Chains A and B, each alone.
Chain A
Amino acid sequence: MRHLAYLFVLVGCLAAALWLEPVLAVNVFRRWRRLLLTLLPVLAVFVVWDLFAIAAGHWTFDPAQTTGVLLPGGLPLDEVLFFLVVPVCAILGLEAVRAVLRLPAGDE
């Protein structure tokens, strides 16, 4: 189970944010095409950053606490999922704030 430690953190993030979709009707997943089009460039940018950081030795991952699935460049699958989970949570957060406060965001 210890190798799932990183994934548990991601599940925790999702648990903190996913309820916003049904409870506040933020409609982020109902706008799934817009969501995917947002996630793809963010994923691309941060995968490149991560590959650079791994190559430069900025950070390393504990093999005992990650899935062990490594993509080319030594990029753990856990990291790729992080770059999907965090943006989804951020968008859910923004749309939840908008649902409650009704503040303009520039796409009205």
Chain B
Amino acid sequence: MSYTGAALLGVAGALAVDLALLRTRLVTRAVFWATYPIVVVFQLLSNGVLTGRRIVVYDPAAIIGWRIAYAPVEDLLFGFAMVLLTLSIWIWLGRRGVQRTPVAGEGSRPRD
């Protein structure tokens, strides 16, 4: 399988976790789409350095060849899958009662 295929599979897997497995449905929430553009800017920056300086080198045969800020477009999918999986698990744990508090912006001592 190419990186292109693996990246598409990764996005599909993360969407399946968010929508079906953990049912956090973050991709349907405004908070996710308010966060993701901020994260993606830093992702493009750091990925641009990693790829532009050739710290990480991609096999041309494994990618489709479209590049954004030096990085293969597949990296955008890889990053999306990582961010969505991370945030889905984080929210799911909170919903299950694992350290729901102290919530963001709250100054009090942790309650659990």
Contacts and interface: CB of A to CB of B under 8 A. Distances in A.
B90 A91 contact: yes
Given A6-B50, A9-B49, A16 B42 contact: yes
A37 interface: yes
Interface in A37-82: 37-39, 41-42, 45-46, 49, 52-53, 56-62, 65-66
Interface residues of A, number: 58
- Report whether over half of chain B's contact residues are helix, strand or loop; otherwise say mixed: helix
Interface string B29-61: 111101100110011011001100111111100
Given A38-B86, A46-B82, A103-B31, A90 B39 contact: yes
Contact of A56 (B1, B50, B90): B1
A104 B31 contact: yes
A17 B86 CA distance: 16
Interface residues of B, number: 55
A49 B53 contact: no
B46 A12 contact: yes
B102 to A, nearest CB: 4
B66 to A, nearest CB: 16
A49 B10 contact: yes
28 contacts: A27-B101, A30-B110, A33-B98, A34-B90, A34-B99, A35-B90, A42-B89, A53-B6, A57-B62, A58-B2, A58-B58, A59-B58, A60-B56, A61-B55, A62-B55, A62-B56, A62-B57, A83-B82, A86-B43, A91-B86, A93-B39, A97-B35, A99-B104, A103-B31, A105-B31, A106-B24, A106-B25, A106-B29
